[in-house]
């Protein structure tokens, strides 16, 4: 039996923790110098830190669709943020439905963003046994909501009525996640913990100097920074602390050696709610932010910890993307992934073994204009606003995408531009 097969036979618990708009440079283990993230930094020391992991998209909804369905944005049902929201297709396989069919207990606490009740595309109908959080991504802008969904029922948070701001939604998601883990006995589990940190309250940001939300400023209260930046840092540190509590429960219940924990972000850092992504160098060495198809918009922090299976203090530059999560989960659960998806299992990469990389990665983006990007090996071709011209970069030599080499390599441009056509299928909901 191969090592991968042996791990699949163990049917490990799988926890995917997803931050919202967390930049590549926002964590200490990715060279953040100011914001304190001791638990995630420890996770990197105890497991694997990926330097070439990609979100599904440069905005929320399509990125989450790619994560759960194994399809990139050229084939995904949800390819952009859109009102009214687009839901998943009837019968569409998700990582949750696949794992539930394999005997896993499944739960989502946090932000769904893949259809409201009017679409029929809600977590409980897409493989999650338990759900508590936001259905609508617009609703999720507010971290002090007046209501949340508990499975398929609306529940009211009266402590937040009349702008009281007493119940912070991300705290509630952590408590539900901890309770879910405390109930763990025999069956394997899949926990998808989708925080809204550090997303801004965009509505509040239009009328106030501070569109960020956190219950307290913590260690940053004494800093002589703009209030919005204190709050931004405090929200990330609070999330880091809550993730530490997740690890504490796993340790206390003896689940560390049979639990794979993944932490990542749905896209690059935002510049919303009056937050300046340059204040903390949230993109790190990368160009661009959320809503860009440059690396800063789609390359994200990604950490993996599986005590006793993933060797500690590993740094991997193996490139993978959110659509690889579903087939990875399938292999670990010992079941087949659905045919026709774009992802492939990264179990070998997690185990530090050689793995065949993707032939290419593809993204498309549908706000303001139709924009595309493709990565093939070290080459990256981008066509995005404002000029929509073809830009070619060598990521090995130019991670910051500062030198457009399109004029010097026309054959590479022609080859990769062909993928702009062949790597996608048309979508009636998201026309080009």
394 pLDDT exceeds 70? yes
Q: Tell me the mean pLDDT in the region 24-44.
A: 98
Q: pLDDT tens-digit profile of 107-165? A: 999 999 999 998 889 999 999 999 999 999 899 999 999 999 999 999 999 999 998 99
User: 391 pLDDT exceeds 70?
Assistant: yes
Check whether residue 370 and residue 354 sit in a common domain. no
Residue 374: predicted pLDDT: 98
- For residue 67, pLDDT beyond 90: yes
- Give the angle subtended at the CA of 25 by the CAs of 22 and 28, to the nearest 5°: 100
pLDDT at 208: 76
HEC profile of the chain: CCHHHHHHHHCCEEEEEEECCCCCCCCHHHCCCCCCCHHHHHHHHHCEEECCEECCCCCHHHHHHHHHHCCCCCCCCCCCCCCCCCCCCCCCCCHHHHHHHCCCEEEEEEECCCCCCCCCCCHHHCCCCEEEEECCCCHHHCCCCCEEEECCEEEECHHHHHHCCCCCHHHHHHHHHHHHHHCCCCCCEEEEEECCCCCCCHHHHHHCCCCCCCCCCHHHCCCCCCHHHHHHHHHHHHHHHHHHHHHHHHHHCCCHHHEEEEEEECCCCCCCCCCCCCCCCCCCCCCCCCCCCCHHHHECCEEEECCCCCCCCEEECCCEEHHHHHHHHHHHHCCCCCCCCCCCCCHHHHCCCCCCCCCCEEEEECCCCCEEEEEECCEEEEECCCCCCEEEEECCCCCCCCCCCCCCCHHHHHHHHHHHHHCCCCCCCCCC
Q: Do residues 280 and 318 share a domain?
A: yes
pLDDT of res. 205: 58
Rounded CA gap, 25 and 172, in Å? 27
Q: What is the pLDDT of residues 155-191, one digit of tens each?
A: 999 999 998 999 999 999 999 999 999 998 778 999 9
Any idea which residue has 């010097």 for tokens? 408
d(CA 152, CA 133): 10
Q: Which of 339, 359, 379 is the last residue of a domain?
A: 359
* Residue 358 banded pLDDT, cuts 50, 70, 90: very high
Q: Are residues 354 and 384 in the same domain?
A: no
Which of these three, 313, 329, 359, is where a domain ends? 359
What's the number of domains the chain is made of?
2
The more confident residue out of 85 and 373 is: 373
Same domain for 341 and 404, yes or no, is: no
Q: Is the domain of 279 the same as that of 183?
A: yes
Q: pLDDT digits over 205-243, tens only?
A: 566 789 999 999 999 999 999 999 999 999 999 999 999
Checking if the pLDDT of 286 tops 90, the result is yes
pLDDT at 3 over 80: no
- Backbone dihedral angles phi then psi of residue 312, each to the nearest 5 degrees: -70, 160
392 & 253 share domain? no
Supply the pLDDT for residue 2. Answer: 46
Check whether residue 372 and residue 348 sit in a common domain: no
| 375 shares a domain with 289 | no
Query: Are 366 and 343 in the same domain?
Result: no
370 and 349 co-located in one domain: no
Q: Structure pTM?
A: 0.96
Q: Quote the Cα angle for 162-163-165, to 5°.
A: 125
With a pLDDT cut of 70, the percent of the chain lying above it is 97
Per the listing, tokens 């709610």 go with 273
Residue 187's pLDDT is 83
- Alpha-carbon gap, residue 13 to 348, rounded angstroms: 18
- Per DSSP bridges, beta strands 48-50 and 314-316 are parallel
Task: Specify the CATH number for the domain of residue 76.
Answer: 3.40.720.10
pLDDT digits (tens, 9 = 90+) for 235-268: 999 999 999 999 999 999 999 999 999 999 999 9
Residue 147 shares a structural domain with residue 285: yes
Owning domain of residue 231: 3-359
pLDDT tier, 284 (very low <50, low <70, confident <90, very high otherwise) = very high
Q: What pLDDT, in 10s, does the model give residues 37-52?
A: 999 999 999 999 999 9
Which of these three, 334, 359, 384, is where a domain ends? 359
Residue 12, in any domain of the structure: yes
**CA-closest candidate to residue 21, choices 230, 303, 283:** 283
> Which of 302, 266, 300 has the alpha carbon at shortest distance from 283?
300
Same domain, 281 and 404: no
Q: What is the CATH number for 412? A: 3.30.1120.10
Predicted local distance difference test score (pLDDT) of residue 8:
44
Question: Mean pLDDT of all residues in the chain?
Answer: 95
Please indicate, yes or no, if residue 86 is contained in any of the structural domains: yes
């Amino acid at each position: 039996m191969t090592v991968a097969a042996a791990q699949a036979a163990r049917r490990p618990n799988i926890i995917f923790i997803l931050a919202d708009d967390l930049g590549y440079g926002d964590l200490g283990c990715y060279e953040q110098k100011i914001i304190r993230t001791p638990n995630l930094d420890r996770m990197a020391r105890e497991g694997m830190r990926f330097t070439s992991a990609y979100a599904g998209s440069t905005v929320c909804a399509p990125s989450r669709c790619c994560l759960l369905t194994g399809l990139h944005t050229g084939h995904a049902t949800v390819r952009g943020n859109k009102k009214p929201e687009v839901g998943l297709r009837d019968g569409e396989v998700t990582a949750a439905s696949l794992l539930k069919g394999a005997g896993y207990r499944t739960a989502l606490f946090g932000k769904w963003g893949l259809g409201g009740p009017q679409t029929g595309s809600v977590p409980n109908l897409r493989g999650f046994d338990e759900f508590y959080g936001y259905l609508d991504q617009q609703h999720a802008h507010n971290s002090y909501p007046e209501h949340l969904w508990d499975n398929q029922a609306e529940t009211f948070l009266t402590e937040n009525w009349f702008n009281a701001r007493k119940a912070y939604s991300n705290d509630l998601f952590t408590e539900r996640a901890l309770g879910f883990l405390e109930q763990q006995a025999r069956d394997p589990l899949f926990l998808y913990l989708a925080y809204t940190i550090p997303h801004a309250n965009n509505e509040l940001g239009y009328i106030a100097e501070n569109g960020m939300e956190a219950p307290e400023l913590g260690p940053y209260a004494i800093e002589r920074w703009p209030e919005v930046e204190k709050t931004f840092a405090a929200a990330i540190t609070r999330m880091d602390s809550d993730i530490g509590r997740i690890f504490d429960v796993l340790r206390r219940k003896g689940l560390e050696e049979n639990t794979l924990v993944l932490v990542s972000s749905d896209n690059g850092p935002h510049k919303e709610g009056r937050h300046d992504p340059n204040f903390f160098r949230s993109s790190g060495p990368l160009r661009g932010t959320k809503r860009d198809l440059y690396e800063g918009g789609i390359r994200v922090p990604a950490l993996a910890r599986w005590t006793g299976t993933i060797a500690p203090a590993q740094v991997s530059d193996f490139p993978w993307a959110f659509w690889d999560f579903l087939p990875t989960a399938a292999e670990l659960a010992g079941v087949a992934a659905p045919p026709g998806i774009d992802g492939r299992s990264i179990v070998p990469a997690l185990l530090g073994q050689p793995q065949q990389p993707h032939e290419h990665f593809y993204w498309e983006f549908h706000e303001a204009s139709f924009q595309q990007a493709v990565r093939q090996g070290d080459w990256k071709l981008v066509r995005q606003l404002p000029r929509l011209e073809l830009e070619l970069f060598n990521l090995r030599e130019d991670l910051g995408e500062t030198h457009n080499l399109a004029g010097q390599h026309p054959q590479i441009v022609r080859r990769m531009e062909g993928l702009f056509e062949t790597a996608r299928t048309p979508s009636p909901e998201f026309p080009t």
